[in-house]
Amino acid sequence: MTPDTKLVTQLLQQWGSGNKEALDELMPVVYEQLRKLAANCLRSERPDHTLRATALVHEAYLRLVDSEVTFQDRVHFYAVSARVLRRILVDHAKTKNRQKRGGEFEKIPLDEALVVGPQADRGIIALDDALKRLAENDQRKSDLIELIFFGGLTYDETAEALKISPATVHRELSLAKAWLHREMAAGAA
């Protein structure tokens, strides 16, 4: 473990034990990584997206602080953060579509869901719906997609978070991507 990794884990444990000062120390240490996660999430959004990485991090911070989650370690913290960032983007897209389009969404293929452009809000919603269906069938594969693509975790970090081997991550990620592609292609038809 690097000193930063140990420090993050220690601060998370102290915060979980009720030490509120640990949270004040933790945020400057994890802020840049959270910004990278947010930027990764926004990379597939349209260029004129109203959320910016900084605003996304701040919203995630508020949700994380108010959560009842007891973080086990650094990887668990970033995994939960990735889930929170994804949820914020989906909520934002749903709100925007409700306001602009009366809540009507059209299904689009996975390839289009991940490209930048005016269809990006509908794409993130379609992808979120497909990930929910995947979670109903196989929660671990849904978690893999979320951690790697939304959370920006490496295969090793994802393996650690899910307590599986990196080889299993690679194998199951391939299956999950194929399932999502097929599911979203069928939904677009």
pLDDT in 10s for each residue of the chain, 189 residues: 555 778 888 998 898 888 889 888 988 888 888 888 787 777 666 666 667 778 888 888 888 888 888 888 888 888 888 888 888 888 887 776 665 544 444 444 444 444 444 444 567 777 788 888 999 999 999 888 888 877 777 898 889 888 899 999 999 999 999 998 888 887 665
Q: For residue 49, what pLDDT is reported?
A: 60
Q: For residue 103, what pLDDT is reported?
A: 47
Q: For residue 82, what pLDDT is reported?
A: 81
Sign of CA dihedral 167, 171, 172, 173: positive
Burial 50-82 (b: 16+ CB within 10 A, else e): ebebeebbebbbebbeeeeeebebbbbbbbbbb
Q: For residue 114, what pLDDT is reported?
A: 44
Domains in the chain: boundaries: 3-188
State how far Cα 168 lies from the chain centre.
Answer: 20
Q: For residue 50, what pLDDT is reported?
A: 64
Q: For residue 122, what pLDDT is reported?
A: 62
